[in-house]
Amino acid sequence: MTAHDDLMNHWRRIEALSAASGLLAWDQEVTMPRAGAPQRAEELGALAEVIHRERTDPRVADWLDGATAEARDDVARAQLRHIRRQHERAARLPGQLAAEIARVTSRAQGIWAAAREADDVAAFLPVLGDVVRLKRAEAAALAGDGSPYDALLEDFEPETTGDQIAALFAGMRPRLTRLRDAILGSDRNIPTLAGRFAEDAQMALGQEVARAFGFDFAAGRLDVSVHPFTSGSGRDVRITTRIDPEDPLGNLYAVIHETGHAAYEQAIDPAYALTPLGKGVSMGVHESQSRLYENQLGRSRGFAAWLFDRMTARFGDIGVADAAGFFAAVNRVHPGFIRTEADEVQYNLHIMLRFDLERALIAGDLAVGDLEAAWNDRFAADFGYAVDRPRNGMLQDVHWSVGLFGYFPTYALGNVYAACLMERLRRDIPELDASLAAGDPSPATAWLHRAVQCHGGLYPPREMIARAAGGTPTAAPLLRYLEAKFGALYDVTGALA
Amino acid sequence: MTAHDDLMNHWRRIEALSAASGLLAWDQEVTMPRAGAPQRAEELGALAEVIHRERTDPRVADWLDGATAEARDDVARAQLRHIRRQHERAARLPGQLAAEIARVTSRAQGIWAAAREADDVAAFLPVLGDVVRLKRAEAAALAGDGSPYDALLEDFEPETTGDQIAALFAGMRPRLTRLRDAILGSDRNIPTLAGRFAEDAQMALGQEVARAFGFDFAAGRLDVSVHPFTSGSGRDVRITTRIDPEDPLGNLYAVIHETGHAAYEQAIDPAYALTPLGKGVSMGVHESQSRLYENQLGRSRGFAAWLFDRMTARFGDIGVADAAGFFAAVNRVHPGFIRTEADEVQYNLHIMLRFDLERALIAGDLAVGDLEAAWNDRFAADFGYAVDRPRNGMLQDVHWSVGLFGYFPTYALGNVYAACLMERLRRDIPELDASLAAGDPSPATAWLHRAVQCHGGLYPPREMIARAAGGTPTAAPLLRYLEAKFGALYDVTGALA
């Protein structure tokens, strides 16, 4: 056995243990009886401790040196790059701290869910304080002399800094608010859906739509959870959605969004299974797939026309008269509190709010006790109206409860990347609109499969997008796309000139 | 920290990892997409390897010595007895072999399920050969100079030998066959159920019956799988059933059976959670609970009367006229191939067949290639008619595919133990029949909770039964119970005198 073989066998076990941990987390959200939460926290903590010990095994450094000398191709070098980063990162993080974070966040998730249900910020603050304290300790241990926030961000978006993101956001913000103001000032009247949409019929349509976007049910599942998410890799990828009998679009677009995430995981070269390359390379690239599926494809005029037919076939009268009205309805720009329900124009403003607040929390510039006020002030300033209740404000997202700091900005990066990919995809596939109108996104999804998804973790995030899109990613394509689509829909193109 | 604290903290992590492994196994049976099987095998293999390493940690021997010197009470001594046995057992088993068994049995389970579906013995034999080869290697490593089969048996029924079981079975066999022959020679005509029994109504009634027997749905789940089973401990105990629209009793009595298993796990003193005492002490004692719930309680005249009312309320005409007919129907002694569908009289004959065959397989006296012929010959000899297809013969049970050798005899031990407990329980609770007729088994389940279930692994199996029943367990109470119940039902008491 070579050093490379030893290392890869060792890492294969780590990936298998991580996959087991992912399954436990999925189960906690989807199937676990509530009383199981305390023991589940122990299980996740024990797994985190074991994984941490494996990653920091003293033999890894020697194997890495040997394997680096042996490495002959890009795949081997990429594997080693990932392993070295994980090994060095783990070595900087005390095992005790990793286990404590796993336990506390597992517990915090249940407390968050109950607090959100009860609109009870005070019930959530103590455990959120624990999570922030532990994540600040983790960030400090990881960062050394660098930026603590960037050290957390690296977990989700390697080779990207908070300052880069802040600059990107600063360039997007004026054009987005200008567009939003123009739209909200327009007198174009966009219809909304009306009716009752039975749960089982929604689930059946969700399955149909997931299949249309290529979800492989032999290698995955679709279930219901509080907060839609995707879990797993390779031949066992699970997506969830949420069902509201009065809002069928929430379910449908959650399904399309998560199917985009799942497509990435299901499409990765099987040769990378249970290796560091066998997963999406970053959350930004992941989100570029899910947002492209959801918005550029799922909310396109063509696909909306097909979906209108499927909706009326299942539900009868849905309160809009025709495909054009349905296209407008699924793209309606509307006031609202909830990020996951936000339209494409305002979505990134929700992200910028969270990005600034979580950077301040990790920097120690904002106390957990002041978070609700900070959220509500910023929301009123950015959106023009006040948060009415905590579940519509700082209790709406699961992320912070489970310790995901540095995750939110990757949603907006995903939007930026998606638009870069889409400009190129449109040039390569002139017949795209016709196939979308036939309910067949497969020309687009096959392009993404080849250009992005099959590569897994092979290329660093920005390089991945640059290779696929044919140029360094910038915010320009996203802004062009939004101004063109919504300028036309709301007849405000003149105001944007 | 004392040696005892160090040891218990270490073992708490092992129990948490074992619980995680149990959840992965549950998921594989209930929720996993089929394509996920190969990766799941890797995950279970990795966990088995880690657990094995933790159990054989060289510090454990020192901690055990220190803790033994410190031990002040029965609980501490029982914990140490379990830990020492697991530690010494693991030390005799090479880690590589443990991991290989975990991987191969995980794979074999899927192959078995497909082979059973297709009645294809040849498709199953190669992987069964691998499993038997690995289990024989395990048995040899564990046994040292002792009996290899007994070494496997110890995993399920500590402090019991194959020879003891063989002697017990030899004493039961003539009385059981005499009873069976008398019944099958009787001209008493027992009705069977007729009708269609919708799946959702069956699931709803299953939930109602599980609740009647005290299943706590806040700390557990009821799902569907190919082979009903119970998984988990403490506050997350999951049972499964199978649904056949033409056979509602299969589902109902599977639910009651698994609820018996679940009651044991849910009732264990919470102070024992994530310790060796926090699980049922043996499969035989476990089965004593499930069989007592299923048969002595669930198939009693009183409970059958209540269940008859619930059945007719849900399904209308079920093909039997009254409660007496329903009681007879649920206790009908009938020819059949399937162990899990066997009546109380013949059930133990199914076990004796498997016990003898698996002992021969492990001893090397029977080759895997000869197993089907051996099964079919023995079945014809014991039951008087030929196996018609493999799924009704050697492919019917999951056990051997997942490496469970030494498990089958514990079912019959459970029947023996259940009857011992029931004789005492009847003396202690004179009003039992009246409460059962009201659909309320709680006087019996509360007695079992106090006398057996809450103790978890505190007492060795035979001691546990002796303490609860008030005397050393023998087969006599089971034989008395069967001859009384079925002698009366079939009017053959005279033939048994």
Judged by CB atoms closer than 8 Å, whether chains meet at A274 and B24 is answered as no
Other CB atoms closer than 10 Å to residue B460's CB: what's the count?
18
Report A:241-280 residues touching B (Cβ under 8 A): 273-274
The two tokens of residue A378 are: 């910023």
Q: What is the pLDDT of residue B295?
A: 98
Contact (CB, 8 A) for B227 and B267: no
Residue B1 clears pLDDT 90, i.e. is over it: no
A341 confidence band (pLDDT: 50, 70, 90): confident
pLDDT above 80 for A414: yes
Tokens of A161: 């800094």
Residues of A in contact with B36 (CB under 8 A): 219, 232, 235-236
What is the pLDDT confidence band of residue A1, given thresholds at 50, 70 and 90? confident
Give the pLDDT score at B277.
Answer: 98
**Residue of A351, A118, A116, A131 whose CA lies nearest to A226:** A116
pLDDT band at B96 (very low <50, low <70, confident <90, very high): confident
Closest to A337 (Cα-Cα) out of A404, A291, A386, A294: A386
Return the pLDDT at A103: 86
CB atoms within 10 A of CB A168: 18
Predicted local distance difference test score (pLDDT) of residue A497: 76
If we measure between CA atoms, which residue out of B239, B373, B10, B91 comes closest to residue A33? B239
Contact A42 B12 (CB under 8 A): yes
Chain A residues with CB inside 8 Å of B46's CB? 13, 16-17, 20
Tell me chain B's radius of gyration from C-alpha atoms.
Answer: 22
The span from the CA of A276 to the CA of A457, in Å, is 7
Work out the percent of chain A whose per-residue pLDDT is above 70. Answer: 100
A258 is an active site residue: yes
User: pLDDT confidence of A494, banded at 50, 70, 90?
Assistant: confident
**Mean pLDDT for the stretch of residues A113-119:** 95
pLDDT band at B16 (very low <50, low <70, confident <90, very high): very high
pLDDT-derived band of residue A384, with 50, 70 and 90 as boundaries?
confident
Neighboring chain A residues of B20 at a CB cutoff of 8 Å:
20-21, 24, 43, 46-47
- Beta bridge partners, B239, equal B222, B230
Compute the mean pLDDT over every residue in chain B, rounded to the nearest whole number: 96
Lowest mean pLDDT among A105-109, A273-277, B153-157: A105-109
Which member of A12, A34, A39 has the closest CB to residue B19?
A39
pLDDT at residue B88, as a whole number = 95
Contact predicate B357/B378, CB 8 Å = yes
Three-state secondary structure readout of chain B: CCHHHHHHHHHHHHHHHHHHHHHHHHHHHHCCCHHHHHHHHHHHHHHHHHHHHHHCCCHHHHHHHHHHHHCCCHHHHHHHHHHHHHHHHHHHCCHHHHHHHHHHHHHHHHHHHHHHHHCCHHHHHHHHHHHHHHHHHHHHHHHCCCCHHHHHHCCCCCCCCHHHHHHHHHHHHHHHHHHHHHHHCCCCCCCCCCCCCCHHHHHHHHHHHHHHCCCCHHHEEEEECCCCCEECCCCCEEEEECCCCCCHHHHHHHHHHHHHHHHHHHHCCHHHCCCHHHCCCCHHHHHHHHHHHHHHHCCCHHHHHHHHHHHHHHHCCCCCCCHHHHHHHHCCCCCCCCHHHCCHHHHHHHHHHHHHHHHHHHHCCCCHHHHHHHHHHHHHHHHCCCCCCHHHCCCCCCHHHHCCCCCHHHHHHHHHHHHHHHHHHHHHCCCHHHHHHCCCCHHHHHHHHHHCHHHCCCCCHHHHHHHHHCCCCCCHHHHHHHHHHHHHHCCCHHHHC
The active-site residue out of B258, B287, B344, B483 is B258
The answer to whether the beta carbons of residues A306 and A439 sit under 8 Å apart is yes
Mean pLDDT of chain A: 96
* The predicted structure's pLDDT at residue B106: 84
User: What is the distance of C-alpha A460 from the center of its chain?
Assistant: 17
Pair B317, B193: CB distance under 8 Å: no
CA distances from A454 to A15, A151, A268 (A): 18, 28, 4
**Which residues numbered 35-74 in A keep a CB inside 8 Å of some CB on B?**
35-36, 38-40, 42-43, 45-47, 49-50
pLDDT by residue (tens digit) across A258-311?
Answer: 999 999 999 999 999 999 999 999 999 999 999 999 999 999 999 999 999 999
Q: Would you place residue B196 in the very low, low, confident or very high pLDDT band (cuts 50, 70, 90)?
A: confident
Which residue intervals of A31-146 are DSSP H helices?
A: 37-55, 59-70, 74-92, 95-118, 121-143
Shortest Cα–Cα distance, A238 to chain B (Å): 9
Average pLDDT in the A345-364 region?
97
> Please, are residues A235 and A189 in contact by the beta-carbon 8 Å criterion?
no
Section A348-377 average pLDDT:
97
Nearest CA to A82 out of A233, A272, A276, A280 is that of A276
**B19, closest residue in chain A (CA to CA):** A43
Within 8 A of B31 by CB-CB distance, chain A residues are: 31, 221
The pLDDT of residue A257? 97
Residue B353's alpha-carbon distances to B18, B369, B405, B434, in angstroms, are 31, 17, 13, 38
pLDDT of the residue at B85: 95
Contact residues on chain A for B21, CB-CB shorter than 8 A: 20
The CA dihedral of A448, A27, A157, A102, to the nearest 10 degrees, is -170
Residue A232 has phi, psi (to 5 degrees) of 95, 175
The Cα B298–Cα A472 span in angstroms is: 70
d(CA A113, CA A97): 24
* Whether residue B497 has pLDDT greater than 80: no
Strands B237-241 and B220-224 come out as parallel
Choice between B95 and A477, residue whose per-residue pLDDT is larger: A477
Flag whether the ipTM exceeds 0.85. Answer: yes
pLDDT in tens, A228-272: 999 999 999 999 999 999 999 999 999 999 999 999 999 999 999
What does R_g of chain A's alpha carbons equal in angstroms? 22
The HSE-up count of residue A122 (CA atoms within 13 Å, CB side) is 0
From A15, A29, A157, A258, active-site residue: A258
Under 8 Å between Cβ of B240 and B232? no
What share of chain A has pLDDT > 90, as a percent?
92
Contact at 8 Å (CB) between A362 and A152? Answer: yes
As a 3-state breakdown, chain A gives helix, strand, coil percent values, each rounded to 5, of 70, 5, 25
Whole-number pLDDT of residue B382: 86
* Contact between A46 and B218 using a beta-carbon 8 Å cutoff: no
Q: For residue B221, what is the nearest residue in chain A, using CA coordinates?
A: A33
State what percent of residues in chain B have pLDDT above 90. Answer: 93
Q: H or E segment at A334?
A: none
d(CA B274, CA A42): 9
Mean pLDDT of B341-361: 96
What H or E segment, with its residue span, contains residue A218? Answer: none
User: What's the CA angle centered on A323, arms A318 and A325, to 5 degrees?
Assistant: 70
- The partner residue sitting opposite A33, judged by closest CB among B16, B38, B236, is B236
Residue-level pLDDT at A102 = 84
pLDDT-based confidence at residue A496 (cuts at 50, 70, 90): confident
